Structure formats: C-alpha cells, structure tokens
Amino acid sequence: MSDSVGETARSGTDLDAPVLQRLSTLDRFLPVWIIAAMVAGLLLGRLIPGLDDALDAVKVGDVSLPIAIGLLLMMYPVLAKVRYSELDRVTGDRKLLVASLVLNWLIGPALMFALAWLLLPDLPEYRTGLIIVGLARCIAMVLIWNDLSCGDREAAAVLVAINSVFQILAFAALGWFYLQVLPGWLGLSTTSADFSVWAIVLSVLVFLGIPLVAGFLTRTLGERTRGRDYYEGQVLPKLGPIALYGLLFTIVMLFALQGDALTSQPWDVARIALPLLAYFAIMFGGSFVLGMRLRLGYATTATLAFTAAGNNFELAIAVAIGTFGVTSGQALAGVVGPLIEVPVLVALVYVALWAARRYFPDDSTVPTTWVELSPRKGLEEGSP
C-alpha cells in the first residue's frame, strides 16, 4: 500500500495472521489519518475566521493554490512508480480499454443522472451539481486508490490519460446532453449551463500534465543513472510517503475551505450524500464484477473498478462555481463529493484487497502481504 521507508511487511509477520496485523503501522491506521485530516480541516475552517478566504485567495485556474499543491504532491510519487516502457502492454489490451470507455463515458454519467433525478427530484440545484460530478471522470485521486489497492499502475496511467483526453473533448457536449437534451426528451425540466473548455483543459494540464512529466523524467533519469533495481529499491521507497502526505494535506485544505458550507447545512449534505453513496457502490461493484467476467486479473480489475468509480471533484467544483457561483447549490453538491468519496473509497480499497484473496486465489498479481512492496512483486514476476 504505502511505500514508507522500513514500513513494508513487518519482519516475522505471519501471512495467516489477521489482516490488521499484516499491515504496516502507517497503513493499518490509514482510515484514522484520513478521518483526522477531515476533522482537522473542518475545525480549522470553523475556528479561524477568514481562513477559507485566505486559502482561496490564490488559485491555479479555479482551484485553490494549497489544494493544487496537495494534488501535485499526491500524484507525483505514484506516476514516478509507473514503468513507462511497459505501457504498450496496456494499450494492447482492447478488453480493458473498451470496458473503461463504456464505464466512464456511457454508464457513469447515465447512472449519476438517474440517481440524481430519482433521489433529488425536488432539489434542482443539487441535482444539477451531481450530474456535473458524474461527468467529471477522475484523473487525480484515483491513482492513490489504485496504488493502495495494489492495482496495475501502468494500466491506471493509461486509463487516466484517456479519460483526460475525453474530458477535454466531451465534457461540454455531455453537459449539454444531460442537462438539456435528455431531460427534454423525458419531459423533465432542463438546465442551461455554459462550460469553459479552457478551464477543463487547464485542469488536465496542471493536475495530470505536471506530475506526469515529472514522474516520467524521474524514472527515466533515475534508471539511466543508477539502474532499475537501485531506482525501485532505493528511490521509490523514499518518494512513496509523499503521496500519502499530499493526500492528507489536500483533505485538510479542502475541508478547511468548505467547512462552513458542510456544517451549516447538515440535512442538505445528507440528501446529497445518498445518491453519491449509491453511485460509488454500483460503479465499483459493477466494474469489479465486469473485470472478473472479462478475466482481466486482480490488479487490472482493481484498476478498472477504481477508475470507473472515482470522480474529478476538483473539476466539478470549479465548473459549478464558474457557471453557477460560489454560493450555489450546484457548488455545494460538488463540495460534498470529497466528504463522501474519501472514506468510501478508502473502505473500497479494503474491499478490493479482501476480494483479491477470495476471488483470485491463483492470481500472481494478488499482493502476498497486503502491503505493497517496491519494486512490485507481481511485475517482477512478469504479471501486470
């Protein structure tokens, strides 16, 4: 899971021992760290007057600079782990690519549209916000969830890159379809919204482009100067913890910025949370089962499930604020997203690791210690 120095499988640990005993100290308490970060952010936002305005004063596009820094720190180590020389293995897997495109760009938006209308028929602003969330496919945190679940890093890099391209090309058109065209066909009320294509492009370039280039250069130069064994055995374990620290920092900043909105309207937050919970469960579960039926193997199945279930809430929030305003219900729906996504997807990481042992007994990509090693055992053995 994490690559903290000296925090791989603890020496002398029995693999037949309970799951929690097999985890490193850092990984064993991961949900605690994340909950603590959420609480810390909410408390900071409530206790320090004007903190949200100060944090939001400087932006990268429409995203607060502190959150932008956290996202970059979070993604860089994960992308530095990717073996870019093996990407052709992923791009040649047509079953994976087709399944990912269908799940992300056909089923995902349609499912969120259906859930938003079924569960929020009387709250048009929140409903619209959730539909926008369904259109924003994840290009950032999904890499963390994939890595924690011991998914296929190379596959995740390719699928995230494909989602980024589709996001630039299709986001505005899909927004028009799901907010105006489809509701009109079904006799429902429509919503007018103009999306900034440039805001979408900037989000992709900054939050995927920068860490992708940095990760590629780090691996390429590292392997050229000291070789792959040294790079994966010495460099990556030192970079690994930065991703977790970046994740926790991002959560603190996000919840500090939006604490007032979340705590002042608890019933509205609960209403918004219900379709999000249903969405994550259906998308992850359905995608995982599809990966099993397609015989993709555990690592690739986990990657398919997390890339399908995750959403780019940073982009959704930026679009909602830019289109409807910072105090709008649409923006609040986007803000509630990480409140639900973070703990739910952390829980799904544990579900995926449990499913790995139960449903993939002879799969060489299943982690042997529940703690991801660097270099990855599965890849060393030639598996995805």
CA torsion, ordered 358, 364, 365, 369, to nearest 10 deg: 70
What secondary structure does DSSP assign to 152-196, as a single string? -HHHHHHHHHHHHHHHHHHHHHHHHIIIIIHHHHTT---------
pLDDT bin (cut points 50, 70, 90) of residue 341 is: confident
d(CA 95, CA 112): 24
Q: What is the pLDDT of residue 167?
A: 78
Whether residue 313 has pLDDT greater than 60: yes
Q: What is the pLDDT of residues 46-72, one digit of tens each?
A: 788 777 677 767 776 666 788 778 878
pLDDT (tens digit per residue) in 135-148: 988 766 787 788 88
Q: Which of 266, 260, 318 is nearest to 53 (CA)?
A: 260
Quickly state the pLDDT bin for 301 (edges 50, 70, 90).
very high
232 located within any domain: yes
Report yes or no on 182 lying in a domain: yes
Residue 219 falls inside a structural domain: yes
Number of domains comprising the chain: 1
Residue 8 falls inside a structural domain: no
CA dist 153 and 48 (Å) reads: 39
* Dihedrals phi, psi of 125, to nearest 5 degrees: -70, -45
Average pLDDT, the chain: 79
**What 3-state DSSP class applies to 210?**
helix
The residues, any chain, with a CB within 8 Å of residue 221's CB and separated by 6 or more, are none
In this structure, is residue 12 part of a structural domain?
no
Cis peptide before 375 (omega within 30 of 0): yes
Q: Would you say residue 109 lies in a domain?
A: yes
In-domain check, residue 355? yes
Q: Domain of 50: which CATH number?
A: 1.20.1530.20
For residue 188, give its domain range: 26-369
Percent of the chain at pLDDT above 90?
Answer: 24
The per-residue pLDDT for range 181-222, each reduced to its tens digit, is 899 999 998 887 666 666 666 766 777 678 888 888 998 999
| pLDDT of the residue at 77 | 83
14, pLDDT greater than 60: no
Question: Could you read off the pLDDT of 217-268 as tens digits, one per residue?
Answer: 998 999 899 898 898 888 888 887 787 788 788 778 877 876 666 677 788 8
What confidence score (pLDDT) does residue 116 get? Answer: 96
